[in-house]
Amino acid sequence: MATIRLGDKAPDFTADSSMGTINLYDYLGDSWGILFSHPADFTPVCTTELGTAANFKDEFDKRNVKMIALSVDGAASHAEWIKDINEVQNTVVNFPIIADEDKKVSDLYDMIHPNADNNLTVRSVFIIAPDKTVKLTLTYPASTGRNFYELLRVIDSLQLTAYHKVATPANWEQGKEVVVSPAISTADAKDMFSKGVTEVKPYLRMTPDPTA
């Protein structure tokens, strides 16, 4: 197990899941992916997270992002737990949950942090680009549920900055002004961004969202 850093290739794996055997790379195909771990089945915060993820599936689909969850319980347990999630969150869990009983994937992705808990995965998130490189990692403790609006927001930023020479400022949301990449001169930026460039400082140039 090695720490996975930004730009690394996401390690491939084949594992059992709530939807049968799944291979990460085959499952993702040419899509973006989001892999997120949960401490355990039948736990309250995880139940809210997975229900929220299921209710947000259309938003992930719109962005061409495939979801894949993981917990260290088995597929039969996942199947029972999914019934509860669907009932209490009024949803249908419609993406695979890896059944990582032998902790093979958790170890591969360093999802167990022994100083937090020796046996349970923390709340890790990996966002994987179509070329299978890791574009974002996040780690939350078991006691803090993740914000799925933030996950969508960061995917919007990752997808925008992958294809345009821009960066996104603090609290940016889709459609708001973006920052011109520091590698581009203001003169070149004015040619490149037809919607205009505002030079706030020589190193801080703003332009409207090129995709809006």
Query: DSSP letters of 157-174?
Result: HHHHHHHSSEE--TT--T
Comparison of 13 and 140: residue with beta carbon closer to ligand BEZ: 140
* Cα-to-chain-centroid distance, residue 120: 20
Catalytic residue (choose from 46, 67, 128, 151):
46
Q: Report the SS3 class of residue 190.
A: helix
Q: Which of 81, 70, 74, 66 is nearest to 112 (CA)?
A: 70
Q: Which of 186, 187, 212, 184 is nearest to 201 (CA)?
A: 186
Q: How far is the CB of 49 from ligand BEZ (least distance, A)?
A: 7
Burial label for 23, CB within 10 Å (0-12, 13-18, 19+), is: exposed
What sign results for the dihedral spanned by CA atoms 25, 28, 31, 35? Answer: negative
Q: How far is the CB of 52 from ligand BEZ (least distance, A)?
A: 12
Residue 72 sits in the site that holds ligand BEZ (CB under 6 A): no
**Does the annotation count 46 as an active-site position?**
yes
Site map (CB under 6 A) of ligand BEZ, residues 130-159, x = contact: ------------xx----------------
Comparison of 35 and 122: residue with beta carbon closer to ligand BEZ: 122
Residue 46 sits in the site that holds ligand BEZ (CB under 6 A): yes
DSSP state of 17: B
Residue 45 sits in the site that holds ligand BEZ (CB under 6 A): yes
**In 79-153, which ranges are E strands?**
97-99, 123-128, 134-140
Site map (CB under 6 A) of ligand BEZ, residues 5-44, x = contact: ----------------------------------xx--xx
Size of the site for ligand BEZ (CB under 6 A): 8
Site map (CB under 6 A) of ligand BEZ, residues 89-128, x = contact: ----------------------------------------
Q: Which residues are catalytic?
A: 46
Site residues (CB under 6 A) for ligand BEZ?
39-40, 43-46, 142-143
